[in-house]
Structure 1
């Protein structure tokens, strides 16, 4: 397993091309699995279910990502985790994999005093915003090709939340988007990455079991 942490922003298109190459290499047995933590310049990415009407203001580059889901935003102040794993060596359960990713982010949020949860029918990580309403703090989007995963999750540490207004994030207009900073938690990238590392064993343990029924 390789863990890679980027200190400089990585252009989204470059990251996508590298993920595709690494996915094929993992399947071929010529490369290690990868957890890749990085940050992007502002970009809107379109999943395979993206609807044209949900692209409200394409003020940034718009890239077809090939992952599941709809439109999302990546940009400075947001930690992105790309997770490339061979599920053929674990439980072959895509739903269980998504459940495990969500659990990993929820566990890391708790280290900073932020309660996160799953919401039925809404992929991603949710919390209580400063106005008391539910809001998304983390997004999940994956692709599995030949049982090797691509893409992963993003968590809003301190992004410019106005950048999300150019899209309907994940096709859900009824709920807002929030961040650790908006909730009063100033979390450095290094500290967030350390929290993920602390909970990595629990994440990988979840991948050995079928998805829970809850």
Structure 2
């Protein structure tokens, strides 16, 4: 099953949400009607934005409307699982819009696959990352007081078709996480490839590595 990769570059969150929804709805309808469709993996970055998932708690956003304006950020209530997260320049966002049944995957296995792809990308930079029980995403030193998150994951699915996806901190300005309780956690930190390596990392290189890992895991 061919999966195409699309790069939207730096795109406002609302534009990406509209495009995603359009492609998601089209894929669901085509699948139900037995018509041809395309599985796509979208890569992009967003200007400063906070997104609050269906099960998210409003009080995990620590700023009011005026304060949000002051830091040049916006807030969206969206239809994925999970709590609040931040997207911004220097963070690689990946939205696979795919029919999981084409790859023999259930939703839980799919989330595991996304985590695995990011764990492998981190390993390619010499960073040991892993999972944390009852906490979706990818973590460093997850079972220690130094636990810090490098990648958030939040997915929506209908008829085994997915949208939303993952956000990997590459050269992200981590100060923006201090204005929220990321994913609802108040006792855990966040990190980035740049912070862990002590140098800026080429975004195109990370995009390529992530794309390769996701596609090879899907093809299995």
- TM-score for the superposition, normalised by structure 2: 0.87
Q: Specify the alignment match of 2:50 in structure 1.
A: 44
Alignment pair present for 1:121 and 2:123:
no
Write the mapping of 1:39-188 to structure 2, written as runs, cut at 5 A: 39-58=45-64, 59=68, 60-128=73-141, 133-183=146-196, 184-188=198-202
Is there any run of 5+ residues in structure 1 with no aligned partner, and where? 207-214
2: CA distance, partners of 1:66 / 1:160: 25
For 2:194 and 2:103, the matched residues in 1 are separated by 36
Q: SS in structure 1 opposite 2:15?
A: helix
Contact 2:103–2:219, Cα closer than 8 Å, also in 1: no
Runs of 4+ in structure 1 off by over 4 angstroms are none
Distance 2:99 2:57 in 1: 30
Measure the CA separation in 1 of the matches of 2:123 and 2:137. Answer: 16
Corresponding position of 1:24: 25
In 2: Cα distance, 1:40 partner to 1:181 partner: 18
Larger mean CA deviation between 158-167 and 195-204 belongs to 195-204
What does residue 6 of structure 1 align with?
Answer: 8
What residue is the counterpart of 1:199 in the other structure? 213
- Residue 190 in structure 1 maps to residue 204 in structure 2: yes
| Helix, strand or coil at the partner of 1:41 | coil
State the distance in 2 between where 1:88 and 1:201 align: 15
| Displacement after TM superposition at 1:115 (Å) | 1.1
CA distance in 2: counterparts of 1:135 and 1:71, whole angstroms = 16
Structure 1 contact 42–74 (Cα < 8 Å) conserved? yes
Cα RMSD for the two superposed structures: 1.8
CA distance in 1, matches of 2:44, 2:87: 10
Structure with a larger share of its residues in helix: 2
Q: In the TM superposition, what is the alpha-carbon distance from 1:198 to its structure 2 partner?
A: 2.9
Query: Separation in 2 of the partners of 1:117 and 1:176?
Result: 15
Matches of 2:92 and 2:150, distance apart in 1: 11
CA contact (8 A) 2:113 2:214 kept: no
Secondary structure class of the residue paired with 1:68: coil
Change (3 A) 1:125 1:185: farther
Q: In structure 2, how many angstroms separate the alpha carbons of the residues matched to 1:132 and 1:64?
A: 31
Structure 1 residue 195, shift from structure 2 partner: 0.9
CA positional deviation for 1:205: 4.2
